[in-house]
């Protein structure tokens, strides 16, 4: 189990993350890609990061080129440093794919 972040810590993390927002106990980001192939490649890269971190986001591929990622630490009931760290790693992938 990890320590839940205080709201002030979440707000601070969100200022450092590109395009992420908070929805309840989740950090969320909606991405748009050039096409289905690019969106799918991005999801696969996120999957690799998630496996390495042993922290697994909810991923939704919709409208053929859009991906929604939702991060929360289910076992802790909210946002932890694991979520903000993985969001930062996901941000590092964006330059490779995002339109």
The conformation of residue 75, written as its DSSP 8-state character, comes to: T
What pLDDT is stored for residue 99 in this prediction?
44
What pLDDT is stored for residue 94 in this prediction?
84
What pLDDT is stored for residue 95 in this prediction?
65
Question: CA-to-CA distance for 72 and 22, rounded, in angstroms?
Answer: 10
What pLDDT is stored for residue 46 in this prediction?
98
| Cβ–Cβ under 8 Å, residues 27 and 21 | yes
> Whose CA is closest to 72, among 20, 33, 32, 31?
20
Point out the residues of the chain with pLDDT beneath 70: 1, 95-99
Q: What pTM, to 2 d.p., does this model score? A: 0.92
What pLDDT is stored for residue 85 in this prediction?
97
Structural domains for the chain: 7-97 (3.30.1360.20)
């Amino acid at each position: 189990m990890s320590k839940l972040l205080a709201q002030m810590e979440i707000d601070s993390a969100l200022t450092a993350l590109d395009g992420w927002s908070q929805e309840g106990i989740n950090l969320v980001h909606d991405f748009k890609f050039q096409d289905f192939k690019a969106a799918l490649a991005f999801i696969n890269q996120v999957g690799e990061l998630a496996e390495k971190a042993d922290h697994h986001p909810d991923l939704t591929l919709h409208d053929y080129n859009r991906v929604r990622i939702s991060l929360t630490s289910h076992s802790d009931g909210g946002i932890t440093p694991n979520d903000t760290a993985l969001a930062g790693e996901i941000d590092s992938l964006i330059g490779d794919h995002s339109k």
